[in-house]
Structure 1
Amino acid sequence: METHTVCINLITILSDFLQAASENHQSYIISLFLSGLYVIFFFPVGFIGNILILVVNLDHSGRLTAPDLYFVNLAVADLLLVADSMIEVFNLKQGYYDKAGLCTFMNLFQQANMYSSVFFLTWMSFDRCVVLTSTVGHSVPRARLSCCLIWMSSSLLTVLPFAVAQMQHAGELHFCFANVTQIQWLEVMLGFLLPFCILGLCYWRIAQVLLRSQREQNSPQQRPRRQKALRMISAAVLVFFLCWLPENVFVSVHLLRGDTDGGTLWQDYPLTGHAVRLAAFSNSCLNPLIYGFLGETFQKKMRLLLLGRSRWSKLHRSASRKLIYVPAAQKCLHVTCHRATQSTCLGPDILPQTAMLPSNKLHTKGNTNSS
């Protein structure tokens, strides 16, 4: 009887173990599939797109305007966040956080880039709203000060999670996060709810101004530009909401459950945590498409850059095919200068000739000089 009971217990334990192993393997396969989709479709767009925005704006001749400064700083923040996302992509088994120093650094780096990206998006919408609805114009010194304050505030807000980030262990898995409830509520409020409200209100006000201007002026030439601007506004708000909502809902559910250990939800649902984190990273990948490639200013700069490169390439190819002309020689009074083609008395300020003389004129000119 006892042997039969022991066998039943062993079978139960073995079946539970196999079921858990099967579920873990299935979660790993799904996580691997999601990571593959991110690497194939989102990461190239975010990495190349943000680099292209930096190249086009920094290579453009002339001083950077205030909107250009915001675009450049947003591209830097998004580029760092996209590069940092590779840790999340390849960290499917949470094995990179074995050391407390790396755990703390990665938490610091991700939080700083997330805050800076969200804050730049929010400030850009506020700046556009102020410029369109008031007499205040763009100011480059004010834009520089705003960018510095955004980076400083992002760093200061990152210090709090940086100070309390810890490694949490669940078997062979390692998780890295701040386990202070108040700080996580602060991240949800300042990292999503408040920016989303400001973003929505500012772009709603901008849309009102554009629609009123369209009704008053009724210009068929300006109508496509206004419609394009409205589409860009709608896309910006929608993409921000869809990308950042899953992670913040995930964290909010964890906080509302009242878990005091700080890691229950992430440990119980590692697949969901991985998916919502990739969705948040996708916002930095899609920002170049919305704020860069849909904007007319960036498109004009892009055309100028490509046109300049094309002209330079054509000029280089045409110059390589042309003959190399010898500079014109001054009259030489030395006895050795009996032929015009052998004169070595070249003035320093002589320009290269653009046409070659026939051979008979060269001989005639040489005879005249020698005489």
Structure 2
Amino acid sequence: MTPQPTSVPANNTNCSQTATQEWIITVVPIYILIITVLGIVFNVFVLMVFWFHKKPCTVAEIYLSNLAAADLVLVSCLPFWAVNVSNDFKWPFGPFLCKFVSLGISMNTYCSIYFLVLVSIDRYVALVHTMSFGRMRRSKDAKVGCLMVWGLGLLLSVPTLIYRTKTKCNTCTAKHPNTSVYLLSEGLLTIFIFIIPISIISYCTVKIIQALNNRLKERSNRSRREHKATSLVLAVVLAFLICWLPFHLFRMVGMLEKATLLSVNSTALDTCFQIFTYVAFFNSVLNPILYVIIGDNFRKKVKELSTKWSSGVTFSMVSVHSNMSTTGVPS
């Protein structure tokens, strides 16, 4: 089950469904549109800072800029889902956009967590294995790693591309051939988009915190820079876990319920899944805010860019004023 309701076996051809709660139809679309606007503005801002600054991005910044790009694509797909929700989950855009929008949301969700894996590994190497693996932290290698993550995200989204479709009931849903295929697909996704990345991130985070505690007595500039960069990474990782962990847990509960290993109230489960899906989407807005609040180096880049652009505008105005004066045009 990707972060979009709903997913059913194909043998369920009954179009009858439980009435959608009123607050979902009225409140959720507005919430999604707010997230879309804020997410686009904030993540475009982050990408502009990273792209237009005169200094090349560090390895961590390469990963964070790709994370911002993934968040940008994700929130750009959300208006379609807002319309879908407001239409009582009757998909009005046709089968192609059903697949394409679902693919965009799924792929960039999966890419986001693996960019966090890469940035966690980078911090782990920088603080724990500085001497032995420090040469691995090169911009060229980071860019290759990002390309691999984009490819992995697309590969993991193949089930979405295959099974997500507009049904005869006019819903955009993942329609698996049977329950066994559904459980196999969701089980593999759970391993690759939850268990494996969370395990890596958790291990790196524990080692990073231990390394930071051991370096508290250091007063070198390098130590302070590494500490600041690591604080931002840890904040981004923590925000991701807070936003996405409930979604993945309820996703697993849904799998157990489909496998008849757990008995839960379907209406309550669907409501919780709706809530935590849209809480998870807020992470795409939260990341740029953390860059500004915690990222000292990011704020420094913003200030330098602002100064540069302000100087450029002032110089242009002075040049125009000078040209007008020399040509005899009243100023």
Match of 1:106 among 96, 101, 104: 101
Partner of 2:319: 319
Q: What amino acid is aligned across from residue 296 of structure 1 in structure 2?
A: D
Partner of 2:209: 207
How far did residue 175 of structure 1 move? 4.2
Change (3 A) 1:287 1:139: same
Instruction: Check whether the contact 1:78–1:284 (CA below 8 A) recurs between aligned residues.
Output: yes
Aligned residues: 297
Q: CA RMSD in A?
A: 3.3
Change (3 A) 1:122 1:267: same
Q: Matched residues in 2 for 1:112 and 1:174: separation?
A: 20
Instruction: Check whether the contact 2:89–2:171 (CA below 8 A) recurs between aligned residues.
Output: yes
How far did residue 293 of structure 1 move? 5.0
Instruction: Check whether the contact 2:165–2:175 (CA below 8 A) recurs between aligned residues.
Output: yes
Instruction: Check whether the contact 2:91–2:172 (CA below 8 A) recurs between aligned residues.
Output: no
Q: Matched residues in 1 for 2:152 and 2:326: separation?
A: 62
Instruction: Check whether the contact 1:214–1:226 (CA below 8 A) recurs between aligned residues.
Output: no
Match of 1:189 among 169, 188, 191: 191
How far did residue 123 of structure 1 move? 1.0
Match of 1:35 among 29, 40, 58: 29
Partner of 1:145: 144
User: How is 1:278-317 mapped onto 2 (pairs within 5 angstroms)?
Assistant: 278-291=278-291, 293-317=293-317
Q: What amino acid is aligned across from residue 200 of structure 2 in structure 1?
A: I
Gaps of 5+ in 1: 1-19, 327-371
TM-score by length of 1: 0.69
How far did residue 204 of structure 1 move? 2.3
Secondary structure of residue in 1 paired with 2:214: helix
Deviations 1:81-137 (A, max 9, x none): 111122222211222267443333333222211111111111111112112222214
Q: Matched residues in 1 for 2:201 and 2:144: separation?
A: 21
Partner of 1:275: 275
1:122 aligns with 2:112: no
1:60 aligns with 2:50: no
Instruction: Check whether the contact 1:31–1:274 (CA below 8 A) recurs between aligned residues.
Output: no
Secondary structure of residue in 1 paired with 2:308: helix
How far did residue 198 of structure 1 move? 1.8
Instruction: Check whether the contact 1:60–1:301 (CA below 8 A) recurs between aligned residues.
Output: yes
**Stretch moving more, 118-127 or 228-237:** 228-237
Instruction: Check whether the contact 1:81–1:114 (CA below 8 A) recurs between aligned residues.
Output: yes
Q: Matched residues in 2 for 1:184 and 1:249: separation?
A: 13
Partner of 2:154: 155
Secondary structure of residue in 2 paired with 1:91: helix
How far did residue 270 of structure 1 move? 4.8
Secondary structure of residue in 1 paired with 2:91: coil
Secondary structure of residue in 2 paired with 1:214: coil
Deviations 1:165-217 (A, max 9, x none): 34456xx66241253111112222222232222222212222222221113x2
**Stretch moving more, 238-247 or 225-234:** 225-234
1:131 aligns with 2:140: no
Partner of 1:350: none
**Stretch moving more, 151-160 or 97-106:** 97-106
Gaps of 5+ in 2: 1-15, 177-181
Secondary structure of residue in 2 paired with 1:94: coil
Change (3 A) 1:237 1:287: same
How far did residue 29 of structure 1 move? 2.6
Q: Matched residues in 2 for 1:141 and 1:230: separation?
A: 21
Instruction: Check whether the contact 1:84–1:110 (CA below 8 A) recurs between aligned residues.
Output: yes
Secondary structure of residue in 1 paired with 2:146: helix
Which one scores higher on RCO, CA 8 angstroms, separation ≥ 6? 2
Q: What amino acid is aligned across from residue 173 of structure 2 in structure 1?
A: C
Secondary structure of residue in 2 paired with 1:176: strand
Instruction: Check whether the contact 1:200–1:237 (CA below 8 A) recurs between aligned residues.
Output: no
Q: What amino acid is aligned across from residue 198 of structure 1 in structure 2?
A: I
Partner of 1:337: none
Secondary structure of residue in 1 paired with 2:171: strand
Partner of 1:364: none
Partner of 1:238: 238
Instruction: Check whether the contact 2:246–2:276 (CA below 8 A) recurs between aligned residues.
Output: yes
1:48 aligns with 2:50: no
Instruction: Check whether the contact 1:85–1:281 (CA below 8 A) recurs between aligned residues.
Output: no
Instruction: Check whether the contact 1:80–1:113 (CA below 8 A) recurs between aligned residues.
Output: yes
How far did residue 266 of structure 1 move? 7.8
Q: What amino acid is aligned across from residue 245 of structure 2 in structure 1?
A: L
Q: What amino acid is aligned across from residue 174 of structure 1 in structure 2?
A: T
Q: Matched residues in 2 for 1:275 and 1:35: separation?
A: 12
Compare CA radii of gyration and give the structure with the larger one. Answer: 1
TM-score by length of 2: 0.77
Q: Matched residues in 2 for 1:35 and 1:228: separation?
A: 37
Secondary structure of residue in 1 paired with 2:173: strand
Q: Matched residues in 1 for 2:61 and 2:101: separation?
A: 29
Q: Matched residues in 2 for 1:116 and 1:178: separation?
A: 23
